[in-house]
Structure 1
Amino acid sequence: MNKVMTFIMPIALCLLLAPFAKAIAGEVEVSGQYMRELIPGTNVTSSYMRITNHHAVEIILVAAKASFSPRIELHEHTMVNGMMRMGQVDKIIIPAHQTVTLEPAGLHIMAFDIQQSLKHGQSESLTLLFEEHPPIVVDLPIKSIKHVNTHQHH
């Protein structure tokens, strides 16, 4: 009987806790995500998305990781003395019940030292790492600049 209970208890515990794990992950929604296709001759690209926080408290994006790049950084474009500059940021705060948009000329995610071909129509996985929140894996469709800029809103 003990062998049966030793086998059944972990399964029962997982089944009991599964709805709670799903609810926690469900409180953060990532949408509209995509990564720019590599420009020939470069090994750097950027990713964009909307992160919606359904929590009653802010969440903090502190990093991202992926198998296609050994170095991924959170970045922001800012205006300094009339010039657009891009720089790394330590974190991106998503306030409670709000959406933060990562977009060109604003907050975004940069991937460096990419050694593989990233072409329009493919996709790659990216893991978003948060402070005090489980990681979220997102599928990033790869889009060429031509396809991104011709998107029409209806």
Structure 2
Amino acid sequence: MSLLHPAALRWRYRLFSGASVGKAEATRRGLYARRISRICFQDFREVKEPYTGAAGGTLARLEGPVIPSTLRAARDGRGFVLRVKEVEGKGGEARFWLPGRRVARAWATDRLERERRPLEPDPGGGLRFPVKARGLATVRPEPEGA
């Protein structure tokens, strides 16, 4: 049994200067490139709720100089745990909201998701919270009715 491949193998690669791509954009591109591709069969199904709703089937939205690391249900069943990473190296403020729902209460938590301090939801029903430069932030928002 031979371990040699019968045909010649060619490897191609390209090196380029990333000067035109900022660090934040490079981080985002790398994050999405590493995600496993998945097949969506929604095109072949009849559209049902919640995809026909005003929110369009979107669970949550996130804005600011951050990328999401984790969004999952809280262990006690009330709300979510959201962990984000700041990617621009400047720090700043992130905004999280749930289309079609309001955030009623929220807490900044530590890495073990223990509540540290309450956060005040903004008047539009979302949540704004600070993120340190190149830092991680974990928050626990609870929507109304949770």
Q: TM-score range by the shorter chain?
A: 0.3 to 0.5
Point out the structure with the larger helix share: 1
Larger radius of gyration: 2
Choose between structure 1 and 2: higher strand proportion: 1
For CA contacts below 8 A with separation 6 or more, give which structure has more relative contact order: 1
TM-score (norm. length: structure 1): 0.35
Q: TM-score, normalised by structure 2?
A: 0.36
